[in-house]
Structure 1
Amino acid sequence: MRAVLCSSFTGPKDLRLSEIAEPKPAGDEILIDVHAASVSFMDQLVVSGLYQMRPPTPFVPGTEASGVVASVGDKVTKFRPGDRVACSSWTGGYAERMTAKESKSVRLPDGVAFEAAATVLHNYGTAYYALVERARAQRGETVFITGAAGGVGLAAVDLGRHLGLRVVAGVGSGDKAALVRDYGAGDVVNYRSEDLRDRIKSITSGDGIDIGFDNVGGAIFEQMARLMKWGGRLMPIGFTSGEIPQIPMNLPLLKNYSILGVFAGAWAEKFPEEAARGNDNLMQLLAGGQIRPHIDSVLPLEEVGDAMRAVANRTVQGRIVLKIR
C-alpha cells in the first residue's frame, strides 16, 4: 500500500511516499481504508523531532484520519467492516490503510463528509476537553483564544460560540480577523500590532478574562497571566512560538486563578470511555451543523511536505486535509 514514511527526524523535506506492507489490527483495534487525513502542527513537530514523544523510525506520520472499516480485531465490539469512521492515533494516518484503537474511533453520522470528519477529533477534541472538561466554562464567561485562526484555535472559537461564551480571538495578522469573526469571535486582538494588555482591559472593562486558551506560549502566555480575572482558568494548550513560558507564581496567588494543563491525547489514553463520549458528542454537533470545521485546502497525499511547511509557517487557516482515496 502507499504510505508516507518518516525515516529521520529532519522535518517535512525528507518525507517519502513509499510502498509498504499494510498493518494488521490488534485485538482492540480496527483496520481502516483511509479516505482523508488532516495535517496538524503536532504532525509537523513529530516528524521534526520536536514533539514530546518520538516514534521508532521509520514510521508513517498522521494523527487523525477518516475512512471505512476494513476489518476488526477479535476484541472489538463497537464496529464492523463497512462502518464509516473517524479516528485518532499517534501515527499511521498518511497511508491507504491504518489501524486505530476502538476507543479512539467514532462512527460517522449519515451525511458527514470524510474531509470534515478528519479534522474534528484533534481540533475540536482538544477544544472540548479544555473548555468543557477542564475549564468547566459557563455561558456568558469571556474566553481569550490565541492562535485563533489555526486548527485548534478556530475549533475553540467555534465551540466557544456554541457554548455561549464571549469569545475574544487573538491573531498574529490582520488577514485572519474576518475568519475568526465569521466563526463567532465578538472581538479580535492582533497581538503583533496591538498592545495586548491595553486591548484586553478595554474589551473587558478592566475585569480581565475568565478563561485563557493559549496555543502560542512564550511572551503571549506571560502577558495573559497578568490579564486573568479573579477565579479564572489559564490553560496552556501548546507552544507554537517555540518558547515554553515561565511566570511568577504570585500572579495566580493574588487573583486566586488556576493554571490548568491541557493534554487531550493523554486524557484520552487514561480515560478512554470519557473521551469516546466526547467524540460522539462532537460528531453529533457536526452532523447537526452546530460546529463547522474550516478546511483551508484539500491536497493529494504526494503534497504532504508542502502541507506541513504551510502549517509550520502559520499560513494555514483551519486545517489542510490530504485526500487519500
Structure 2
Amino acid sequence: MKAVLCSSFTGPGDLRLGEIDEPKPARDEILIDVHAASVSFMDQLLVSGLYQMRPPTPFVPGTEASGVVVAVGDGVTTFAPGDRVACSAWTGGYAERMIARESKSVRLPDGIAFEAAATVLHNYGTAYYALVERARAQRGETLFVTGAAGGVGLAAVDLGRQLGLRVVAGIGSDDKAALVRRYGAGEIVNYRSEDLRDRIKSITSGEGIDIGFDNVGGAIFEQIARLMKWAGRLMPIGFTSGEIPQLPMNLPLLKNYSILGVFAGAWVEKFPTEAARANDTLMQLLADGKIRPHVDRILPLEDAGDAMRAVASRTVQGRIVLKVR
C-alpha cells in the first residue's frame, strides 16, 4: 500500500511516498481504509526530531485520520467492518490504511465529511481536555488563547464560545483576525504589533485573565504569567515559538493562580475511558453544528512535506488535510 515514509529525523523535505506492507490490527485495534488525514504541528516536530519521542525509522507520520473500518482485532467490541470512524495514533495516518486502538477511535455521525472528521480528535480533543477537564472553565470567565488561528488554538476559540466563555484571541498577524472573530473571539490582540500587557488590562478592566491557553511559549507565556487574575489557570499547551519559557514562581504565588500542564496525548493513554467519552461528546457537538472545524486546504497525500512546511511557517489557519481516497 502507499504511505508517506520518514526514514530520518531531518524534516519534511526528506519525506518520500513509498510502498509498505499493510499493518495488521492487534487484539484491541482496528484497521481502517484512510480517506483523510490531518497535518499537525506535532507531525512536523516528529519528523524533524524535535518531539519528545522518536519512533523507530522508517515510520509513517500522521497522528489523526478518518476512514472506514475494514478489520478489527479479536477483543474489539465497539466497531465492525463498514463503520465510518475518526481515530488518533502516534503515527500511521499518512497511508492508505492505518491501525488505531479501539479506545482512540470514535464512530462518525451521519453526514459528517471525512475531511472535517480528521481534524477533530487532536484539535478539539486538546481544547476539551484543557478547558473542561483541567481548567474546569465556568461560563462568563475570560479565556485568552494564543496562536488562536492555528488548529488547536482555533478549536479552543470555538469550544470556548460554546462553553459560554469570553474569548480573547491572540494572533501574530492581522490577516488571521477575521477567522478568529468568526469562530467566536469577542476581542483580538495582535501580540506582534500591540502591547500585550496594555491590551489585556484594557480588555479586562485591569482584572486579568481567568484562563490562559498558550500554544506559543517563550516570551508570550512569560507575559501572560503577569496578566493572570486571582485564582486563574494558566495552561502551557505547546511551544510553537521553539522556546520553552522560564517562570518566576512568585508570580503564581502572589495571585494564587495555578499552572496546569496540558498533554492530551498522555491523558488519552492513561485514561482511555474518559478520553473516549470526550470523543463521543465532541462528535455529537460536531453533528449538532455546535463546533465547526476549519479546513485551510485539502492536498494529495504526496504533498505531505509541503503541508508540514506550511504548518511550520505558521501560514495555516485551522488544519491542512491530506486526501488519501
Distance in 2 of aligned mates of 1:144 and 1:98: 36
TM-score, scaled relative to structure 1: 1.00
* Residue type at the aligned position of 2:214: D
Deviation at 1:31, TM superposition (A): 0.3
* Residue type at the aligned position of 1:321: V
Deviation per CA, 1:223-260: give whole Å up to 9, x if none. 00000000000000000000000010000000000000
* Residue type at the aligned position of 2:321: V
Distance in 2 of aligned mates of 1:135 and 1:77: 33
* Residue type at the aligned position of 1:119: T
Distance in 2 of aligned mates of 1:202 and 1:55: 46
Q: What is the match of residue 21 of structure 2?
A: 21
Distance in 2 of aligned mates of 1:302 and 1:73: 30
Q: Residue 37 of structure 1 aligns to a residue in which SS? A: strand
Deviation at 1:193, TM superposition (A): 0.2
Q: Residue 239 of structure 2 aligns to a residue in which SS? A: coil
Distance in 2 of aligned mates of 1:103 and 1:214: 28
Q: What is the match of residue 293 of structure 1?
A: 293
Distance in 1 of aligned mates of 2:221 and 2:116: 30
Deviation per CA, 1:77-135: give whole Å up to 9, x if none. 00000000000000000000000000000000101110000000000000000000000
Deviation at 1:39, TM superposition (A): 0.2
TM-score, scaled relative to structure 2: 1.00
Regions of 4+ moved over 4 Å:
none
Q: What is the match of residue 164 of structure 1?
A: 164
Q: What is the match of residue 234 of structure 1?
A: 234
Deviation per CA, 1:283-302: give whole Å up to 9, x if none. 00001100000000000001
Q: What is the match of residue 10 of structure 2?
A: 10
Q: Residue 121 of structure 1 aligns to a residue in which SS? A: helix
Q: What is the match of residue 318 of structure 2?
A: 318
* Residue type at the aligned position of 2:157: V
Number of equivalent positions = 325
Check if 1:136 corresponds to 2:136: yes
Q: What is the match of residue 269 of structure 2?
A: 269
% same residue: 88
Q: What is the match of residue 37 of structure 2?
A: 37
Query: What pairs with 1:157-236 in structure 2 (closer than 5 Å)?
Result: 157-236=157-236
Deviation at 1:167, TM superposition (A): 0.1
* Residue type at the aligned position of 1:213: F
Q: What is the match of residue 281 of structure 1?
A: 281
* Residue type at the aligned position of 1:271: F
Q: Residue 284 of structure 1 aligns to a residue in which SS? A: helix
Q: What is the match of residue 56 of structure 2?
A: 56
Q: Residue 71 of structure 2 aligns to a residue in which SS? A: strand
* Residue type at the aligned position of 2:189: V
- Segments of 5+ residues of structure 2 without an aligned counterpart are none
Q: What is the match of residue 112 of structure 1?
A: 112
Deviation at 1:198, TM superposition (A): 0.3
Check if 1:152 corresponds to 2:171: no
